[in-house]
Amino acid sequence: QMISDALPGKEEYLNSEKFQICHYDWTKENKLTTLITKINAIRHENEALQQTNNIEFCNIENDKLIAFYKWNNDKTNQLLIVISLEPYYAQQGMIQLPLYEMGIENGHHFQVHDLVTGSSYNWIDEWNFVELHPTLPFHIFKIK
């Protein structure tokens, strides 16, 4: 019998979360709680993530990736968020940044710093390469 089989004579499924009560230790630290804590700290430290306006989606040459540029009102806090929509396989692609809106002249070098991993990359021009893996399916880049 498969775990997802329905119970005989009923519509409910065996071990369905709808009918299963689980108790979790919410104080126990694990990979997920560590990551959520980090993301919340990033959100609190970056004014651009504390408002719903000032967002522009970026062109990206991979349908399984989504990217957007986010900034605060005076553009002193600019972020680029890239997210993989593919949970099982690594995804990569070229992303087109709105350099004019970012206040960066085409042909000038600029740095993006991943606020989650601490890695930094030097980019130039409007098209740049990104790669994401299922173990960490997003980047939160601060643009410097």
Radius of gyration of the chain (CA): 20
- Spans of the chain below 70 pLDDT: 1-7, 11-21
- The one-letter amino acid code at 90 reads A
| Global pTM value | 0.80
Q: Which helix (H) or strand (E) holds 35?
A: helix 31-45
Tell the burial category of 139 from Cβ atoms under 10 Å away from its Cβ (0-12, 13-18, 19+).
buried
* Mean pLDDT, all residues of the chain: 90
| pLDDT for the residue 13 | 62
| pLDDT for the residue 122 | 96
| pLDDT for the residue 3 | 56
| pLDDT for the residue 139 | 98
Domains annotated for the chain, with CATH where assigned, are 31-143 (2.60.40.1180)
